[in-house]
Amino acid sequence: MRFAFLDRDGVINRFPGKGKYVTGFSEFKILPQALKAIRLLTEAGYELAVISNQGCVSRKLITKKSLADLTKYMLKEIREAGGRSPKVYYCVHQKADNCACKKPKTLLLKKAVGTRKIKRSEICFIGDSEEDMEAAKNFGCRPVLVLSGRSKKKDVPALSVKPDAVHKNLWEAARWLVNQKK
């Protein structure tokens, strides 16, 4: 079984900016080629799980229902583009809550894998931030950085966890990942 984790903001949809959140449909803009990338991964046999920190819920900037509505929209767009809907796991807490689910902690990754017999070292986590790379390392999977969100090329040398690969966006990362298995 092939399995990959995807961050949401900055990987699938446009990153709203440091300290900002996607709180409505007008802010939820799917990145160019992201749906095509998810379709490619689906066609290559990958099961996908979206793992995303959404502290905007605990900050009361968006309700759980509104977050669920945005998620339904995202999944509909993925299906209509020919991809298989990934499972979606959110941490709605703030750092101060000291929960077990906020990346770079790994509870959501463990939930996503569940009881499947998958070698963690064969799972990739495609993300746009240092916390995504740290979550991948903490879980024992492969960190893959995309430069379509928070991180830029100049940030890579200072990352505490060096990614296995760095790509411009999810499309390039998906193509790289699919070609790794050939």
CATH code at position 49:
3.40.50.1000
Number of domains in the chain: 1
Active site residue ranges: 7, 9
pLDDT in tens, the chain (182 residues): 799 999 999 999 999 999 899 999 999 999 999 999 999 999 999 999 999 999 999 999 999 999 999 999 999 999 999 999 999 999 999 999 999 999 999 999 999 999 999 999 999 999 999 999 999 999 999 999 999 999 999 999 999 999 999 999 999 999 999 998 65
- Asked whether 153 and 19 are in contact (CB, 8 A), the reply is no
For helices 34-43 and 64-80, the axis angle rounded to 10 degrees is 70
Q: Containing domain of residue 169, as a range?
A: 2-180
pTM: 0.96
Q: Distance between CA atoms of 106 and 51, rounded to whole angstroms?
A: 10
